[in-house]
Structure 1
Amino acid sequence: MKRFVALLMSICMVALLMTGCSGGGGIEDGANASDYPVTVGDVTLSAQPGGVAVLSDNLADVVLALGYEIDLKARSESCTQTELKVLPVVTMDDAEKMKSLGVTLLLTEDEPTEEQKTALQNSGITPLVLDTAASRKGLQRLYTEVASAMRGGNTGYLHGVEAAENILTTLDDINRVIPDSNTVTTACYLYDLDGHVATGDTFCDVLFSCSGVTNAFKGEKGGEIEMDSLKRADPDYIFCSSEVKEQLMSDKNYASLTAVKKKHVVEMEASDVTRMGRTTILTATTMAGTVYPELLETSEESSQEESSQSESSGTENTGTTTLKKGDEGDAVMALQKRLDELGYMFVACSGTYGDATVQAVMDFQLLNGMETTGIADAKMQKVLYSDAAVPRTDE
C-alpha cells in the first residue's frame, strides 16, 4: 500500500509516563536511579555494551524503533530490515566472529545451548534472551528491557517507556477513526495450511482489534488450530503470505470459505505481524485500509484537494531540497519549526534531523495522505508550508 490513510492517523506524541525510580538493578518496578548496573530478567549488566548483535527480526525492529541501531555490530539472516543490511550476518555459533566485531551483548528470542552459552561468555559476550510481547503491557515490557540493556536502567528505561507509548498511542488513533458498524467483521492471520495461526495470545490480536476487526481465533492459544476450525470460523478476511495465499486459493477444500469466495485473502508477510517496532503501525494501517476501503477513498480525495490548494496558497518558505536523517542547518530548523507549529514536534527544534524529526515527518505524511518515509522531499515540503497542511490534533 503506497499511500497511507490520511484519516487513519492523528498521531499523539505523549509526554513520558511517570514512573518510580528504584535504587538500581532490576527494572520490574520502574526506572533505576542510575543507568548501570542494571538487571534485565536474570542477566545483570555492569556497563553499557560496547556493541550489540541482534538475532531476532522482531528485536531488531524494536531496536530501530528506539533509534539505537547505531549500537548494532551484527545481525542474524532473519533481520532483513533495509537499515540493517550493511551489518555482518552471524549465528549463535559465531562467538569468535562476534567478538572480533566488538559485540559484548547478544539480543535473542532463542535460548542458546549450554555449549553456545559457554562459548559466548568465554568471548566476553552476554546473551540476553527476551520473550516476545503478546499484549500492550507486554510491548511496554519488551521496549523497556531492550532499551535498559542497551542504554541503562534510567536513560534507556525511560526512553523505552516513551517509545512504546508512542506506538500504542498511534494504534489507538487508528482505532478511533474506524467507521461505526453494527456488524462484526472477523479476520485471521494464517501462517500455513498446517494450522499455524495468530491466536488470541499473540500481539497480532492487538493489531486486529486496533484495525477494527475481531480475530477469528481470539479464544485460542498457542498459535495452532485444527484446520477444520478455519472452516467453522469462516473469517471475513484472511491475511497470509503470497505463498500461502496461492495454496489456499487453489485448494478445493477451502473453496467455500467466505474470504476465498469474496477474494478477501490478503497478502501480508509473516514478519509484518511478528515485528513489534514501527512495523506494527504500518500493519494496522494496512489491515484497516483493507477492511474499510472507504478510508482510502477519503484519503485520496483529501490528498488531491490539498495538492490543488497548495498550488495557490502557503508561505514562501517552501523547501526544494530533500532533507533526511543526519542533515543539519537552517533548512532543517525551518522544517522543524513548521512541524512544531502544526503540532508534530515533541522535542525542541535543534536544526539537526534526528529520530524525533523522522517521527514528526512520518506523522505528518500519514495524516496528509503521503507515503510514510520519514524523508522530507520537495513534494512533502510543498504541502507542509502550504495552507492545506493538516495539523495534528489530540481529538
Structure 2
Amino acid sequence: MKKERIGRSSLPLFLCAVMMLLCLVPLAACGSHDVESGAGQSDYPVTINEVTLSAEPEGVAVLSPNLADVVLALRYEVSLKARSEDCTQSDLSILPTVSLEDPQAIRDSGATLVLTEEAPTEEQKKAAADAGLAILVLSPATNREDLTRLYTQVGSAFKGAATGYHQGEKIAKNILMTIDDVRRVIPESDVVVTVCFLLDDQGGAVTGDCFAGKLIESLGFANAANDGAGNQVELSVIANASPSYLFCPTGMKDTIAAAEAFKDLEAVQQGRIFEIDPHLLQWQGNSITQGITEIVGSIYPELLSEPGVSSDASQPPESSGAAAATELKPGDENETVKNLQLRLQELGYLFVSPTGLYGEGTEQSVKDFQLLNGLEVTGIADEQTLELLYSDAAKPRTD
C-alpha cells in the first residue's frame, strides 16, 4: 500500500498546525493567566489589568498610600523598594520617596514594577518603559466583595497568579471576618444609631457611595450622609438626620463643635464628637479594622471596659518563655505559641486545636482578642497584646 507523503511545499503549513495544537492542548502553558478569571495553576506569566508579568518583580515601588496599606496587610512589604511621599505608614519610612516624574530614580531603587491608583500620562508611560518599568494601575475597593478583587490583584502582582492570588484571597477574608466580628459584639437594639463622619465643616463627609460609608452601614448604623456622593453632602441633609454621634479628623473637634451648621445636632449638644484619623477609613489594609473598632468603641465604650477574668491560669507558665516573648506572628512554631493558643482557648477565642503553629486560626483569634480588648487589630501578638492577654484584665469572649 502506497503511503501518502507530505510535499515540501506543505511542510511549513504542517509544522505550523502542529505548533498550534501544542499550544491549544496545554493552553495555560502557552499564555498568561488573567487573574480576572480567578487563581491560576502556576504563578507566571500572570496578567493583571492588562499588564502581563513574566516573572516575580525584582522590586516594587508603591505610589498610593491605600495600596501601601494593602501591601502591609499582605505582609509583602519586604519586596518594596520605594514609595511616594504620601505613603506615610511608619513601617515604610525607611524607603526612598519617588514619583513617576523621575522613572529612572524608581528603577535605580531596585524596582521593576510600579503600583499606583492614578493612570499615568502617555508621556509617563513611555518614560517608564524606557527605564525598564511596568506600571500597574489598581483601583480601590468599592464594597466588601470588591475588597477581595483588590487583594488578589495586589497579591498576584507580588507573587503570581497562584501564590499571590491565594494570599490575597486569604487576607481579604480575614479582614472581612474581623469586620463581622465587630458587628456581632454590638448590642442589639430596636433603635438605629445615626452617625456621621465629617471631613470638614463645609459638607465634606463619608458618603454612602464610598467604601467607608458602606462599612458604616454594614455595622448596623444609619449614615447621616448616606445620600451624598463623592464625599460631599448638603449641610441641611446632616441637620435633618441629626446624628447622635459625630466623627471627624484629628484636630477638627473644636471646629465642628463651633460650626453654626452643626450647633443644633444632638451629637454636638450631648458632646459626642470623636476625633479619628481619617486614613483609618480611607486606607483598605489593616487600617480598616482599626477604624471601625475606634468608631464602635466610641459609641459603646463598655465593650472595651468590661472587667475581665481572674484566675491562676491567666499567668503564662514560667518555663514557656511567653513572658519574655515580645512578639509572636503568623508562621512562628514553638512552645510559646502553644501557650498563647492555650490562653486564647481558655478565654474563648480559639476554636482550633493548640498545635504550637501560629496559623490562620490563631491569627484570627488574636485579631478577635485585640478587637474586644481595645487594642490595634493586627493579628500579630505584640508585646502589648501579650501583656494584656496574660493579665487579669483580659476580656473573655462570651458570644
CA distance in 2, matches of 1:312, 1:179: 27
Q: Is the Cα–Cα contact under 8 Å of residues 238 and 265 in structure 1 kept in the other structure?
A: yes
1:326 CA drift (Å): 8.2
Q: Is the Cα–Cα contact under 8 Å of residues 212 and 281 in structure 2 kept in the other structure?
A: yes
CA distance 1:34–1:348, change in 2 (3 Å): farther
Q: Is structure 2 residue 130 aligned with structure 1 residue 122? A: yes
Q: Is structure 2 residue 380 aligned with structure 1 residue 380? A: no
Cα deviation digits, residues 67-86 of structure 1 (max 9, x gap): 10000001112111111111
CA distance in 2, matches of 1:367, 1:271: 22
Greater relative contact order structure (CA < 8 Å, 6+ sep) = 1
After TM superposition, the structure 1 stretch with the greater mean CA deviation from structure 2, 314-323 or 283-292, is: 314-323
Number of the residue aligned with 1:184 = 192
Q: Is the Cα–Cα contact under 8 Å of residues 59 and 79 in structure 2 kept in the other structure?
A: yes
Question: So what's the TM-score if we normalise by structure 1?
Answer: 0.81
Cα deviation digits, residues 111-141 of structure 1 (max 9, x gap): 1222222211111111111111120111111
After TM superposition, the structure 1 stretch with the greater mean CA deviation from structure 2, 189-198 or 274-283, is: 189-198
Q: SS in structure 2 opposite 1:138? A: helix
Letter in 2 for 1:334: E
CA distance in 1, matches of 2:370, 2:107: 41
Number of the residue aligned with 1:321 = 324
The aligned runs of 1:53-202 (5 Å cut-off) are 53-202=61-210
After TM superposition, the structure 1 stretch with the greater mean CA deviation from structure 2, 189-198 or 260-269, is: 189-198
* Equivalent residue in structure 2 for 1:242, among 250, 255, 258: 250
Of structures 1 and 2, the larger Rg is shown by 2
Q: Is the Cα–Cα contact under 8 Å of residues 69 and 283 in structure 2 kept in the other structure?
A: yes
Q: SS in structure 2 opposite 1:276? A: coil
CA distance 1:82–1:379, change in 2 (3 Å): closer
Structure 2 alignment gaps of length 5 or more: 1-26
Number of the residue aligned with 1:14 = none
Q: SS in structure 1 opposite 2:247? A: strand
Q: Is the Cα–Cα contact under 8 Å of residues 344 and 392 in structure 1 kept in the other structure?
A: no
1:144 CA drift (Å): 0.5
Q: Is the Cα–Cα contact under 8 Å of residues 205 and 233 in structure 2 kept in the other structure?
A: yes
CA distance 1:261–1:391, change in 2 (3 Å): closer
* Equivalent residue in structure 1 for 2:260, among 252, 256, 263: 252
The aligned runs of 1:221-240 (5 Å cut-off) are 221-240=229-248
Letter in 1 for 2:226: K
Number of the residue aligned with 1:338 = 339
Q: Is the Cα–Cα contact under 8 Å of residues 105 and 127 in structure 1 kept in the other structure?
A: yes
Question: So what's the TM-score if we normalise by structure 2?
Answer: 0.81
Indicate the RMSD between aligned Cα atoms, in angstroms.
3.2
CA distance in 2, matches of 1:236, 1:293: 15
CA distance 1:270–1:381, change in 2 (3 Å): closer
1:206 CA drift (Å): 3.2
For these two proteins, the number of residue pairs brought into alignment is: 362
